[in-house]
Amino acid sequence: MMATTHGFVGLAIAAAVAVIAPELAVAAAIGGIAGGIFPDLDVLAEHRRTLHFPGYYTMVALPALGLAYVVTDVVTVGVATFLVAAAVHSLSDALGGTPSAAPWKSDLDHGVYFHAADRWLPAKRWIRYDGAPEDFALGAVFALPGLVVFDGSIRYLALTGIAVSLVYTVFRRPIGNAVAGLE
């Protein structure tokens, strides 16, 4: 899935926090968006293995949520939202295609690396590849709660993310085919 789709999932998580505790909305939005995008920084290394930790993010997110409940402030809520979004990102990448430049040409079955078991989780391909039309649609659906709940800079960031996602979706296959041809 696109980094923006994961960012929108983080923003949707933050929107739920904002409804319950509006004074923590900005911290939750920053944490959710950053946590949703952060694992994809490993695209510069071994994608879906270096910064994708489906088990470990989840194990750390659960106590972070408990701490944010007991000690509710911008730091604990921001960190908890970051970790939950990073966990959801890492887990949900197994629902997509492989992390290759042209996953529609790949016969690999790697979805995301599960460090605790020292193996790759298989790619389910429910979202065929990052930038697929269904990826764009899913991202737009997850952007909706953020667009409704937030205003100002966060809403503009979400709208910009939708525009970037649309452009990426239009050009994803030609770019992927060109890059795959260089490999």
CA atoms of 82 and 17, how far apart (whole Å) = 12
Residues of the chain with pLDDT under 70: 183
Domain edges within the chain: 3-176
Predicted local confidence at residue 100, as pLDDT? 86
Q: What is the pLDDT of residue 107?
A: 84
